[in-house]
Amino acid sequence: MIELKNLCKIFKTGNKSIVAAENISMRVKEGEICVLLGPSGCGKTTTLKMINKIIEPTSGEIFVNGKNVTNVDNIVLRRKIGYVIQQIGLFPNLTVKGNISIVPKMLHWDKERIDRRAEELMEMISLDKSYLSMYPKELSGGQQQRIGVARALAANPPVMLMDEPFGAIDPINREIIQDEFLRLQKKIKKTIIMVSHDITEAIKMADKIAIFKEGVLQQFDTPDNILAHPGNSFVENFVGKDRTLKRLNLYSVVDVMNKTPFIFNDNDNVCDAIKIMHENSLASVFIVDKDKKPVGRLVLKDVKNLKKNDGKCINYMIELKSMIKIEENLRNISSQMYLHSKSSFVCVDNDDKIVGEISQDGISNFLNATYKKEPKGYENV
């Protein structure tokens, strides 16, 4: 856990003084990723660097896992906090292995343990062991970035500070590394404070977002609440007019889908289906085969004039063109709805079995639910 209490930093340069952090208070729970977000120069880096005492606060207190950092020796404190700097900062004179073994060596781990850890770390960041003997200049930007993260993780610190850790890579690789990192974080569950100036990155990575403006914390809340209930006009402008669309990134199909759609088997009598559709005012139902795999959609207006004994559903249904995996995020699904002019999709699990249905109305209702609740405002502490 990391807690900041009334943290202030004033830089004095000549006769000018710059307030880089003004009375910042927040608490990041264990295992959470908190993203410090805001435009350049708003004090994100300054706030981050006060936590590992690279920058001395002007006033205020910082607690890392319950301990006031002012009472902890700088060196001891920093060896327990993984630190990824904005410029990556791998030591060019050391191999990859040399770089990632620095902290373990300072902690006097024995050679065998260091070797084992080095291999483990490479696996974590999805790089081959053969990279261990290479020098930083032989690596691509993305690989260096990964090594930077591995180096910070080396001695398994409970807390990580990361200053724009994915900033120096091209957009495609950035997404790959972000995804990789989130998968890793699921396993290692570090308490992380990460700086970013990119709202999309923040939404993707954060459990909590802290938005700054000119050294002042504007709002500290979950990504969804920040997007749904921006606390002031600065935050509202910062998150963008398309903030509702951005919320779609936060959820996947499984969060929103109707898990109990009406379904019929392909050899059920079509009239039974028609009856149910009438009774429940449905425009269509999905048809599945004996393995519960969706095969088609039966649309009421195509079949409403059929009489009894007119046959099985399979004869009247429209074949399904697309199915949606439940882990897809809502933004991609919405995009496909517009692409195919569809208002709903059938959702399947990894065995292609039907597990639900997702509709435009369902998504709207889900997104609107938060507005019906009294807005929570924002927890500033």
Partner 1 sequence: MDILNFFIANYKEIAYRTEEHIFIVFLAVSFAILFGVTVGIYITQHKKTADVVLYIASIIITIPSIALFGLMIPVLSLINEGIGYLPAIIAVFLYSLLPIIRNTYTAIMNIDPALREAAKGMGMTNSQRLLKVEIPLSIPIIMAGVRYATVLNIGVTAIAAYIGAGGLGTFISQGISQSNSTKLMVGAISVSILAVMADYFLLFIQNKVTSKGLK
Ligand X SMILES: Nc1ncnc2c1ncn2[C@@H]1O[C@H](COP(=O)(O)OP(=O)(O)O)[C@@H](O)[C@H]1O
Judged by the rule CB under 8 A, the positions of this chain that interact with partner 1 are: 52, 54, 74-79, 83, 85-95, 102-103, 106, 135-137, 151, 161
CB of 84 to partner 1, least distance (A): 9
Site string for ligand X, 36-65 (x = CB under 6 A): --x-xxxxxxx-------------------
Q: Does 46 bind Mg ion (CB under 5 A)?
A: no
Q: Does 91 bind ligand X (CB under 6 A)?
A: no
Burial of 13-52, coded b for 16+ CB within 10 Å and e otherwise, reads eeeeeebbbbebebbbeeebbbbbbbeeebbbbbbbbbbb
CB of 163 to ligand X, least distance (A): 7
How far is the C-alpha of 114 from the C-alpha of 103, rounded, in Å?
Answer: 10
Three-state SS for 190?
coil
Q: Which is nearer to ligand X, 9 or 190 (CB)?
A: 9
Q: Which is nearer to partner 1, 77 or 303 (CB)?
A: 77
Q: Please, are residues 215 and 43 in contact by the beta-carbon 8 Å criterion? A: yes
Binding partner of residue 91 among partner 1, ligand X, Mg ion, none, CB cut-off 5 to 8 Å per kind: partner 1
- Total residues found in the chain within this entry: 381
Q: Does 196 bind Mg ion (CB under 5 A)?
A: no
Q: Which is nearer to partner 1, 2 or 77 (CB)?
A: 77
- Of 298, 291, 306, 304, the closest CA to residue 263 belongs to 298
Binding partner of residue 92 among Mg ion, ligand X, partner 1, none, CB cut-off 5 to 8 Å per kind: partner 1
Select the span of 12-20, 88-96, 106-114, 129-137 touching ligand X (CB under 6 A). Answer: 12-20
Select the span of 28-36, 41-49, 210-218, 255-263 touching Mg ion (CB under 5 A). Answer: 41-49
CB of 49 to ligand X, least distance (A): 8
Residue 105: phi and psi, rounded to 5, are -65, -40
Q: Which is nearer to ligand X, 46 or 144 (CB)?
A: 46
Binding partner of residue 93 among partner 1, Mg ion, ligand X, none, CB cut-off 5 to 8 Å per kind: partner 1
Angle at CA of residue 85, ends 225 and 78, nearest 5°: 95
* Two structure tokens written together for 278: 């009438």
How far is the C-alpha of 263 from the C-alpha of 269, rounded, in Å?
Answer: 12
CB of 67 to ligand X, least distance (A): 24
184: left (phi over 0), alpha (psi -120 to 50) or beta: alpha
Binding partner of residue 18 among ligand X, partner 1, Mg ion, none, CB cut-off 5 to 8 Å per kind: ligand X
How far is the C-alpha of 244 from the C-alpha of 237, rounded, in Å?
Answer: 13
Q: Which residues contact 231 (CB under 8 A, 6 or more apart)?
A: 218, 219, 221, 377, 378
CB of 42 to ligand X, least distance (A): 4
CB of 248 to ligand X, least distance (A): 28
- Of 66, 378, 24, 28, the closest CA to residue 193 belongs to 28
Q: Which is nearer to ligand X, 3 or 163 (CB)?
A: 163
CB of 6 to ligand X, least distance (A): 18
Q: Which of 3, 9, 21, 45 binds Mg ion (CB under 5 A)?
A: 45
How far is the C-alpha of 352 from the C-alpha of 365, rounded, in Å?
Answer: 26
Q: Please, are residues 22 and 197 in contact by the beta-carbon 8 Å criterion? A: no
Angle at CA of residue 207, ends 202 and 208, nearest 5°: 75
By CB under 6 A, name the binding residues for ligand X: 11, 13, 18, 20, 38, 40-46
By CB under 5 A, name the binding residues for Mg ion: 45
